[in-house]
Chain A
């Protein structure tokens, strides 16, 4: 079920304000954020975010193609290192 168009996209207000403040100063330092659910809007293009994945912050550089996606889509929360090898009992390298 997708989100009602009436509401518009979800954009984290505080994050948006930070981006605007940076744009005014034409400065682009990475912004740390936990707001994985925040939609990437055109104003975010060219900015870098450090998106929390539950453990660390991953750098996400926003390009034009990413508009409409959410920040969390670009910061994986799971690490898959391959299935365990029964004989050796250790995880196979990825």
Chain B
């Protein structure tokens, strides 16, 4: 049973895909890790020995921000935006889209479920 970056136990899959079960590792980071450690991406994760696993683990430690540390960094970055009272921080605070998307329609991911306003005309009559 392979254990990488704390709690994640990907098995039976090719190591390049198994690694992507870790929060913070996507296709790019997985390929980078395997390139640096010199492990064949097509090997299955249960075929790796302890030495190779620890090589992966130390490479992640050194080069990639994953799981808790990554989540912490993201929320700190958002807290900083709020703290300096920038426009982006205000958008985070109000729960509206941050990157200039329209809000007249859509934006439901940020705004949550529709709250119907009585008497409001539909956008397109």
Contact = CB atoms under 8 A, between A and B. Distances in A.
Interface of A: 63, 65-66, 69, 72-74, 76, 83, 86
A64 to B, nearest CB: 10
A73 B118 contact: no
A73 B117 contact: no
A73 B90 CA distance: 10
Interface of B: 80, 83-88, 90, 117-119
A74 B85 contact: yes
Contacts of B87: 72-74, 76
B117 A65 contact: no
A65 B90 contact: no
Contact of A86 (B80, B90, B119): B119
Given A74-B85, A74-B86, A65 B80 contact: yes
7 contacts: A63-B84, A69-B86, A73-B86, A74-B87, A83-B117, A86-B118, A86-B119
